[in-house]
Amino acid sequence: MRYWNRFQRGEEKSINVPGAAALPRSFAGVVSQGARAIAVAGEAIVDFVLEPGGGTTPRLGGGSFNAARTLGRLGLAPSFIGRLSTDRYGRALRRGLEESGVNLDGIVTTDDPTTFAQVELDGYGAASYRFYIDGTSMAGLRPEEARAAMPARAAALHIGGLGVAAQPQATAISALVREAGSETLVLVDPNCHTHATRARPGFRERLCDLIRFADVVKASEADLAYLEPDQPPHHTARGLLERGPAVVLLTNGRRGATVLTARDEALVEAPRVEVIDTIGAGDAFGAAWLGGWVADGLRRGDLGDFNAVLRVAGFAALVAARTCERAGAEPPRAAKVDAEWCFA
């Protein structure tokens, strides 16, 4: 990892879920015992990945789903807040969360069909998405359901931007963010998939409103290009810091991630791995940063410690890289033993 300072300014058939075996006992619960609660609110969907031969492979996904599984596989037992269908895909999503160590108490069940996305991969394994949201499971979460599922005095709340693409879930998630306690660190991942959000009235405004209440924003260059199409991503990232967040984590794919605060900036290089695809890598990065922060005993009030922010970003980069080594959004399993993270 290299970094430097630049600024000093103030589904009836069962569905196979790759990688979803139970966590080895020697790794289970190492961090989660006595840990502060983390909540993840948003979407759980099925990605239908278009294969070169013309077929499709269903893979469990959704940015918030991926984030929750990442945190669960780090031993942090997060609570997932969202809707899951009673259809076979919804049951598979539930199993995927449970087998990754995610708390299911915040899940609301529905007979609406599971939300899905069509995914295409380019020659480098990078994914593009087309989402099918209307009339499906994701959109119907109500504010009162979300509030009832939110852990009291949570240490952290992770929000994915796609979760505010449709109502009433958008209002429910916005309420969680606005009503978060003073001790709750809020991380927003815009996840601006243009095929899902471009024609949705009010999406950009709702997302920008969420960002104002966020402590940390994890964004890709594509996210920032959506928010400010006429501006370079770095310029937009710096502008976000003026709207409320204390930290912006700007992911740049194979180039790593740039960590920005009002005073400081640094690059965290991406570890070199054999990339199968990049599905879920950005989700894993943001969730791993949040999980690493909480696992280190750090709090919302510690965000001014740039060295701590940067150190945890290095861990997040490693988790994201390990995710790229597997097909689909399959984050690695790990746990913190004493001061070291150990990967299964």
CATH code at 104? 3.40.1190.20
Residue 90 has pLDDT above 90, yes or no: yes
Cis preceding-peptide flag for 24 (omega within 30 of 0): no
Q: Which residue did the predictor score with more confidence, 146 or 229?
A: 146
- Report how far residue 295's alpha carbon sits from residue 144's, in angstroms, rounded to the nearest whole number: 30
So what's the pLDDT on residue 114? 97
- Report how far residue 208's alpha carbon sits from residue 223's, in angstroms, rounded to the nearest whole number: 12
So what's the pLDDT on residue 49? 84
Residue 241 lies in a domain: yes
So what's the pLDDT on residue 105? 95
Please name which of 340, 284, 295, 335 lies closest in space to residue 23, comparing C-alpha atoms. 335
Residue 26 has pLDDT above 50, yes or no: no
Residue 325 has pLDDT above 90, yes or no: no
Average pLDDT score over the chain: 84
- Window from 48-52, 132-136, 163-167 with minimum mean pLDDT: 48-52
Mean pLDDT of 141-153: 95
So what's the pLDDT on residue 32? 37
> What's the structural domain count of the chain?
1
So what's the pLDDT on residue 151? 94
Residue 7 lies in a domain: no
- Report how far residue 94's alpha carbon sits from residue 172's, in angstroms, rounded to the nearest whole number: 21
Q: Which pTM does this prediction carry? A: 0.85
Residue 340 lies in a domain: no
Residue 102 has pLDDT above 90, yes or no: yes
So what's the pLDDT on residue 202? 81
So what's the pLDDT on residue 108? 97
- Window from 29-33, 165-169, 180-184, 255-259 with minimum mean pLDDT: 29-33
Residue 222 lies in a domain: yes
- Window from 20-34, 121-135, 200-214 with minimum mean pLDDT: 20-34
- Report how far residue 214's alpha carbon sits from residue 151's, in angstroms, rounded to the nearest whole number: 18
So what's the pLDDT on residue 21? 34
Q: Which residues contact 168 (CB under 8 A, 6 or more apart)?
A: 139, 140, 141, 142, 143
Percent with pLDDT over 70 in the chain: 85
Residue 190 has pLDDT above 70, yes or no: yes
Residue 22 lies in a domain: no
Residue 132 lies in a domain: yes
Q: Classify 342 as helix, strand or coil.
A: strand
Residue 165 lies in a domain: yes
Largest CA distance in the chain: 58
Q: Which residue did the predictor score with more confidence, 22 or 44?
A: 44
Residue 22 has pLDDT above 70, yes or no: no
Residue 135 lies in a domain: yes
Q: Give 197's pLDDT tier (boundaries 50, 70, 90).
A: low
Tokens of 160: 């994915």
Mean pLDDT of 257-279: 90
Tokens of 252: 């740049």
Residues across the chain? 344
Tokens of 239: 């502008």
Domain that holds residue 113: 38-335
